[in-house]
Amino acid sequence: MARRKKIYEGKAKILYEGPEPGTIVQYFKDDATAFNAEKKAVIEGKGVLNNRLSEFFMTGLGQIGVPNHFIKRLNMREQLVRSVEIVPLEIIVRNYAAGTMSKRLGIDEGTQLPRPIVEYCYKDDSLGDPLVTEEHIAAFGWASQQDMDDILSLALRVNDFLSGVMMAVGIRLVDFKIEVGRVFDGDFQRLIVADEISPDSCRLWDIETGEKLDKDVFRRDLGDLKDAYTEVARRLGVMPKNAQPITKPTLIN
Ligand code: 5GP
């Protein structure tokens, strides 16, 4: 069998050329990085969990009409997705203050925001993904005004969906990051949600206890990241077949 062509290797995923034009195979690695890859570790099983969780969220979004790149899961670590031209922005939606917003504005972590706040960062690791305004985005041609309207609408629809799904299993969606990409149909282009949606890119807090169930567990040395992600997957009913119970075997359905 011919070797697959690697298109791109990032911190948490590898992209390979897909079997048909316009498709890509997205492979989820076990690597965890934080602080622009200054902190690194291999967390066995993280890739399997994120593959399942991203499938779960993207499928749910598709069912409510939010266009996204997911086509199908191929195996434990890989999914087939639509090839897109990534818009070079990280789109962050915040419901509660945390992380860089708390630092930047001096707001206590966990403070409920008056409404969801959407922020944009320019996707460039060498610059540490700096926060940018719509002025920068328009002036440098990263996205048009129509794109920005579409991006805002996608981001808020993802927020509504994810907040509800998480709330139903006792988890507060504090904030999250998405990426969007362009797909072309003849002369027309439209934007769809791409990349991944997983606890790597969200802040998820247990509603009762405030326990963190996301990548902050790794960033801030709060415990076992795999246990946290497994708990999210368990609550959502998204456990990989053959997955070994981690800490609470009696709780697994
Ligand atoms: P903050 O700006 O507070 O660091 O992050 C806000 C939200 O966006 C958090 O849920 C965080 O996980 C996510 N986020 C921000 N930048 C990145 C990134 O480069 N990669 C990933 N996976 N998530 C990010």
Q: 202: Cβ below 6 Å to ligand 1?
A: yes
The residues with which 188 forms a beta bridge, in sequence order, are 185
**Matching residue, tokens 């801030």:** 220
Name the CA dihedral angle for 241, 242, 243, 247, rounded to a multiple of 10 degrees. Answer: 120
The pLDDT value given to residue 75: 97
Q: How far away, in angstroms, is 20 Cα from ligand 1 center?
A: 32
Show the beta-strand stretches assigned E in 87-241: 89-96, 112-122, 131-132, 171-185, 188-194, 202-206
The pLDDT value given to residue 36: 87
Q: Which two tokens stand for residue 193?
A: 């949600």
Instruction: Give yes or no: residues 71 and 174 share one domain.
Output: no
The pLDDT value given to residue 239: 77
Instruction: Give yes or no: residues 137 and 235 share one domain.
Output: no
Instruction: Give yes or no: residues 113 and 200 share one domain.
Output: yes
Q: Which two tokens stand for residue 68?
A: 């996204």
Instruction: Give yes or no: residues 58 and 165 share one domain.
Output: no
Instruction: Give yes or no: residues 17 and 118 share one domain.
Output: no
**Matching residue, tokens 């075997």:** 249
- Residue 50: left (phi > 0), alpha (psi -120 to 50), or beta? alpha
Instruction: Give yes or no: residues 107 and 150 share one domain.
Output: yes
Residue 217: its H or E element: helix 216-219
Q: Which domain holds residue 154?
A: 85-206
Q: 195: Cβ below 6 Å to ligand 1?
A: no
Tell me whether residue 18 is in a domain. yes
**Matching residue, tokens 């927020």:** 159
Tell me whether residue 129 is in a domain. yes
Q: Which two tokens stand for residue 242?
A: 């053959």
- Three-class secondary structure of residue 141 per DSSP: coil
Q: Which ligand 1 atom sits nearest the alpha carbon of residue 200?
A: 22
Q: How far away, in angstroms, is 195 Cα from ligand 1 center?
A: 13
Tell me whether residue 217 is in a domain. no
Most informative mutation of 31, 92, 118 for ligand 1 (most atoms within 8 A of CB) = 92
The pLDDT value given to residue 240: 63
Instruction: Give yes or no: residues 116 and 68 share one domain.
Output: no
The pLDDT value given to residue 3: 75
Contacts of 201 (CB under 8 A, 6+ apart): 176, 177, 178, 195, 215
CA nearest neighbour of 89 among 11, 6, 194, 219: 194
Instruction: Give yes or no: residues 144 and 237 share one domain.
Output: no
User: What is the amino acid identity at position 105?
Assistant: L
Instruction: Give yes or no: residues 101 and 175 share one domain.
Output: yes
**Are 249 and 231 spatial neighbours (Cβ–Cβ below 8 Å)?**
no
Q: How far is CA 129 from CA 25, 36, 63, 120, in A?
A: 25, 9, 31, 9
Q: Which two tokens stand for residue 126?
A: 């060498």
Instruction: Give yes or no: residues 95 and 175 share one domain.
Output: yes
DSSP 126: G
- Local confidence pLDDT in tens for the 253 residues of the chain: 567 899 999 999 999 999 999 999 999 999 999 998 899 999 999 999 999 999 999 999 999 999 999 999 999 999 999 999 999 999 999 999 999 999 999 999 999 999 999 999 999 999 999 999 999 999 999 999 999 999 999 999 999 999 999 999 999 999 999 999 999 988 899 999 999 999 999 999 999 999 999 999 999 999 999 999 999 999 999 976 655 544 433 333 3
Instruction: Give yes or no: residues 100 and 183 share one domain.
Output: yes
Q: What's the CATH number where 162 sits?
A: 3.30.470.20
Query: Could you give the CA distance from residue 182 to residue 151 in angstroms, rounded to a whole number?
Result: 11
Instruction: Give yes or no: residues 110 and 177 share one domain.
Output: yes
Total domain count for the chain?
A: 2
The pLDDT value given to residue 2: 64
Query: Could you give the CA distance from residue 166 to residue 145 in angstroms, rounded to a whole number?
Result: 31
Q: Which ligand 1 atom sits nearest the alpha carbon of residue 100?
A: 3
Instruction: Name the residue at shortest CA distance from atom 23 of ligand 1.
Output: 201
Q: 162: Cβ below 6 Å to ligand 1?
A: no
